[in-house]
Chains A and B, each alone.
Chain A
Amino acid sequence: MRRYFARKLLIYALTFFLAVTIDWLIPRFMPGNPVQTMLSRAHLHAEAADVMYGYFMRAFGLDLPIWQQYVNFWVALVHGDLGTSVFVFPTPVLQVILNAVPYDIFLLLPAILASWLAGNWFGAFAARSRWLDNTALPVGYILTATPYMWLAILLAWVFGIILHIFPIAGAYSFALRPHLSWTFVWSLFVHWVLPFLSLFMVMLGGWAIGMRNMIIYELEADYAHYLEALGAPRRLIRAYAFRNAVLPQLTGLALQLGVIVAGALATEIVFSYPGIGYLILQAIQNEDYFLLQGCFLFIIVGVLLANFIIDVAYVVVDPRTRTGMQGETA
């Protein structure tokens, strides 16, 4: 057991190192120069431009040889310094991310959880009842098959612009300043409903389909046949099947949660909701190396953490996988 975990940790450390290095490399493979891009918006006289260019290159450490930039990167990382953003100049990257991420968590966490719970519940039911399978589940399929942006924009249009029920921009009213009061909480809620709904609707079907398929597969397994042959009640078989089927769903859930830090780009664009996803897109388009690195670092950590938790959970819960991973034959 200890050896198993030690090995796992080593692998994760390796993955982290590799992934972070790739993360650091990726923005630098892009042609162009972020300082140039930033200054090209400034319309400076030639002499001033040259001076400012040199100044900013030094300020961002971009005039150092590549290997030195890499070393500096790790040193700064250990100190918790993710650099200064070029797009949201001169805010430090860590601050930009910390300002934006809570909005994504606020939106995505409930959406993922709610859709996971509802979806699995639906899927489990559908696997048992033919009627549900033929009526409710197709609705789930159609929803999942919908391109997210399309659905989100339609929702915004119908409920926001035509019916005037919900607002279509911002996390809270532009007439409010955050403070503890029911007005503010209500505003937060009202601005949250449409984005949440759109995410919920589209994710729901996916979980439902997955769960349904998983349960059906479990019902195919030998132990299910065996129990049936023994005359066990259907409900008992289903209960076992459910527990086994939930495992891969947990994997999916953990991975989705791990990627929350990547934000919901589409949602943020459609509903003008603040968050990290839109900033990532802008960072990419404006060649903001540091902001990109910082965001992706968060994502890497999130996903690896989620993976690790899954692995631990699996070991605890499923003996099959434990033996399988160590290469033994059953």
Chain B
Amino acid sequence: MRRVLFILSLLAILSMLTVGVVPATEPEGADVVYERSETLYTSGTQWGPPSSWNPMVTWGYAMGTAGLCYETLFIYDPFTNEYMPWLAEEGKWSSATEYDLKLRQGITWSDGQPFTAADVVFTVELGKKFATVQYSTIWEWLQSVEQVDDYNVKFTFSDPLYQEWAHFLYYRAIVPKHLWESKTEEEVVSGANDNPVGTGPYLYDTHSQDRMVWVKNATWWAKDALGLDPKPKRIVDIVNSSNNVALGLVLQGGLDLSNNFLPGVATLLQSGYALETYYPEPPYMLSANTAWLILNNTKKPMDDPAFRRAMAYAVDVSQIVQVVYGNIVMAANPTGLLPVWDEFIDQSVVDELGPSYDPAKAKQILADAGYADTDSDGFVESPDGSKIELSIIVPFGWTDWMESIKVIANGAQAVGINLKPEYPDYGGYADARNSGKFDMLISNEVQISNTPWRYYDWMFDAPIRETMGNGNYERYDNQQVFDLIVQLDKTPIDDIAGMKKVISEIQRIQLTDMPLIPLWYNGMWAQYSNAVWTNWPSSAEGRNHYLPTSWREYWNMTAILMLCDLKLAETE
């Protein structure tokens, strides 16, 4: 017996050592203890172990791969609608089909090689080389890309799509030709790329199952060229396992920037924790995307525009905003466009066709369209007499949405529509959504960007296929609107009047047919602690108005500038 115990205790001690020994292989000269005043702790992006540093895997690369390590040609500021030259120094349309790009000189990759036009050409041509590259479709309207000299590139388009091109300029990370030209298709599209070499302000330091660590690049080009210097020497991104723990970490002072959805954060702002959000009062958070109520237009009775309109009048969004979210979100405009795109909202169309919360009107619309409660069960039946039993789904565990669809279902039931909330796990939800097997669901995929075209491209993705993976889950089939969206894409990015005209037509169709219903603006969840770092973005006077988030795709929308503005808190 005693021998057995002895052996078991040996095993226990050995196991404790493996944890310490196995990861203990660090390179020479690396810091092993991080100074608090040199480190920025973030969270809210990674939900699993960091496993990929490939900027092509835009949905799964480790936090900061694109933005901190790899960079883009321009940086876009959604509040000022400015394209700040970044890797590029200047870009302009020399003719209707030719775009000239002038690159900045003096930029080097982190392995010492110079950054030149060859890298840009190579990156764009990767889309031609491998059809599986995410942006390979650009070659349907890009005719050629030519390296004029070391720092100049000429793009010639067969069918210029100005909006999409503008998006490409600030969205696509440029990869080094000298390291990537020998990669196979598999490596390019799905490889881990675990020694990322980029031009950006941070370098890969280390990672483990629960964290991703970036260390400052002392030779970053923007220090001299733009006078920018990100303050934290290290950025440690913590992998979430639950929002509850993230909240605890924030309150303990162990987390500086949390991009998690932290319920109740509004109450904590006044509790002496040195917490801050972008807005000091409701809605506290910036709007990042729109939460849409998507109705499956191919299923009865959602194929009836009158039914869809009735649903729009039956949802009490204010209850969701106030009760479920505690006012950290805002109700959406009937067009669904984010506040930064206010100028594109055709108010006359909205006034004429935009719905609001009005249960009486909803019942009226249903009655007028022939929906009546023929069997007196409290719920209406279709005009042809068939029963209506619908479900609305959101992924299980997305607590705020779970609560929201309860409100929506209650609202629908109150006007006589038999709608029940259900919570399949994410896989089941995504499956039903992409294959068109759902009745109703909530989705908010398309994020804030440089143009409302992106929104419409997602809302009305065409053509309708068996599996919809990139939007238009409602499967709304209207060639006229598809054509309008292409027309919008072909409108130059600075032709605001032209854009407004096309958008107004799209909105008219959208609000007449109501294929999907905008509900609220989901927040750019961001709460920051002033315990160690301060001078965060804020709406207040004299503060910077950069985006306070570490989410993928957001670093190159000015979040990187936030890092440069940070200061150490005076009192430690």
* A/B contact in complex, CB under 8 angstroms: yes
Distance to closest chain A CB from B416 (angstroms): 32
For A55, give its contact among B135, B189, B428 (CB under 8 Å): B189
Answer whether residue B270 sits at the interface, using C-beta atoms and an 8 A cutoff: no
| Contact A102 B22, CB 8 Å, known A44-B470, A48-B136, A183-B33 | yes
Task: Check: B249 CB closer than 8 A to any chain A CB.
Answer: yes
- In the complex, B192 has a CB within 8 A of chain A: yes
**Which residues from chain A contact B52 at a C-beta distance below 8 Å?**
89-90
A87 to B48, CA, bound (A): 8
Q: Is the CB of B249 within 8 A of A177?
A: no
Q: Is A42 an interface residue, CB under 8 A from the partner?
A: yes
Type the 1/0 row for B41-64, where 1 means its CB is closer than 8 Å to any CB of A. Answer: 100000111011000011110000
The answer to whether B48 and A49 touch across the interface, beta carbons within 8 angstroms, is no
Residues 10-38 of A, flagged 1 when their CB comes within 8 A of B and 0 if not, give 00000000000000000000111110110
Which of B48, B192, B236 is close to A282, meaning CB atoms less than 8 Å apart? B48
Say whether B85 faces chain A, with CB atoms less than 8 Å apart.
no
Asked if A51 is an interface residue, CB under 8 A from chain B, the answer is yes
Q: For the complex, what is the distance from the CA of A272 to the CA of B208, rounded to whole Å? A: 13
Instruction: Knowing A39-B469, A44-B134, say if A278 contacts B32 (CB, 8 Å).
Output: no
Interface assignment of A68: CB less than 8 Å from any CB of chain B: no
> Is B223 engaged at the interface, CB distance under 8 Å to the other chain?
no
Give bound CA distance, A83 to B21, whole Å. 26
Is B36 a contact of A175 with CB atoms below 8 Å? yes
Q: Please give the distance in Å from B31's CB to the nearest CB on chain A.
A: 7
Q: Is the CB of B15 within 8 A of A37?
A: no
Closest to B18 in A: A102
Please give, as numbers and ranges, the residues of chain B lying within 8 Å of A185 by CB-CB distance: 20
Q: In the complex, A161→B254 CA distance in Å?
A: 11
User: Do B15 and A32 touch across chains, with their CB atoms under 8 A apart?
Assistant: no
Interface flag for B11 (CB, 8 Å) = yes
A178 at the interface (CB under 8 A from B): yes
- Is the CB–CB distance between B33 and A89 below 8 Å? no
Q: How many residues of A contact B (CB 8 A)?
A: 76
B474 lies within 8 A of chain A by Cβ: no
Asked if A37 and B206 make an inter-chain contact with CB atoms under 8 angstroms apart, the answer reads: no
B465 in contact (CB, < 8 A): yes
B427 to A287, Cβ gap below 8 A?
yes
Partner of B32, one of A34, A110, A171, A177: A177
* Interface bits A149-189 vs B (CB < 8 Å: 1, else 0): 00000001100110010011111001111111101110010
Against A, the Cβ 8 Å flags (1 = close, 0 = not) of B419-452 are 0000001111011011000000000011000000
- Known A-B contacts A109-B12, A171-B210, A177-B206; the reply to A285 vs B20 at CB < 8 A is no
Residues in A neighbouring B84, C-beta threshold 8 A: none
Chain A 90-126 per-residue mask, 1 if CB under 8 angstroms from chain B, else 0: 1100001001101101100110010001000000000
Known: A48-B132, A51-B131, A177-B26. A168 touches B59 (CB 8 A): no
Q: Residue-by-residue, is A240-269 near B (CB-CB < 8 Å gives 1, otherwise 0)?
A: 000000000000000000000000000011
> A205 CB to closest chain B CB, in angstroms?
21
Whether A48 and B427, one on each chain, are in contact in the complex, defined by CB atoms closer than 8 angstroms, is: no
Number of interface residues of B (CB under 8 A): 81
- What's the nearest-Cβ distance from chain B to residue A89, in Å? 6
A69 interfacial by beta-carbon distance below 8 Å: no
Given A45-B137, A88-B51, CB of A180 within 8 Å of CB of B20: yes
Residues on the B chain within 8 Å of A272, using CB = 210, 240-242, 245
A46-B245 contact in complex given A51-B132, A89-B52, A171-B19, C-beta closer than 8 Å: no
Residues of A within 8 A of B251 (CB): 161
**A40 CB–B CB distance under 8 Å:** yes
Q: Are A52 and B431 in contact (CB under 8 A)?
A: no
A113 to B5 alpha-carbon distance, docked (Å):
9
Residue A286 interfacial (CB < 8 Å) = yes
| Cβ A160 vs Cβ B51 within 8 A | no
* B39 beta carbon closer than 8 Å to chain A: yes
| List of B residues within 8 angstroms of A87 by Cβ | 48
Residue B252 CB within 8 A of the other chain: yes
- Asked whether, in the complex, the Cβ of A286 is within 8 Å of the Cβ of B426, the reply is yes
> Any chain B CB within 8 A of the CB of A41?
yes
Supposing A179-B26, A282-B48 touch, asked if A52 and B132 sit within 8 A by C-beta, the answer is: yes
The answer for the CA separation of A55 and B241 in the assembled complex, in Å, is 31
**From A32, A176, A282, residue with most partner B Cβ within 10 Å:** A32
| B24 interface contact, C-beta 8 A | yes
Q: Which residues of A contact B57 (CB under 8 A)?
A: 42, 89
Contact assessment for B465 and A46 in the assembled complex, using a CB-CB cutoff below 8 Å: yes
Chain B: CB-nearest residue to A287 = B427
User: Which residues from chain B contact A229 at a C-beta distance below 8 Å?
Assistant: none
Given A36-B467, A102-B22, A113-B8: A170 and B431 within 8 A (CB)? no
Q: What are the 8 closest A-B residue pairs judged by CB atoms, nearest first?
A: A274-B209, A175-B34, A40-B430, A178-B23, A105-B15, A32-B431, A41-B59, A287-B427
* Residues of chain A whose beta carbon lies under 8 Å from any beta carbon of chain B: 30-34, 36-37, 39-49, 51-53, 55-56, 59, 85, 87-91, 96, 99-100, 102-103, 105-106, 109-110, 113, 117, 156-157, 160-161, 164, 167-171, 174-181, 183-185, 188, 268-272, 274, 278-279, 282, 284-287
Q: A43-B458, A48-B131, A177-B33 are in contact. List 16 more A-B contacts (CB 8 A).
A: A37-B427, A43-B471, A55-B132, A56-B190, A87-B48, A89-B51, A109-B11, A167-B254, A169-B254, A170-B210, A175-B33, A175-B36, A175-B236, A176-B33, A177-B30, A285-B427
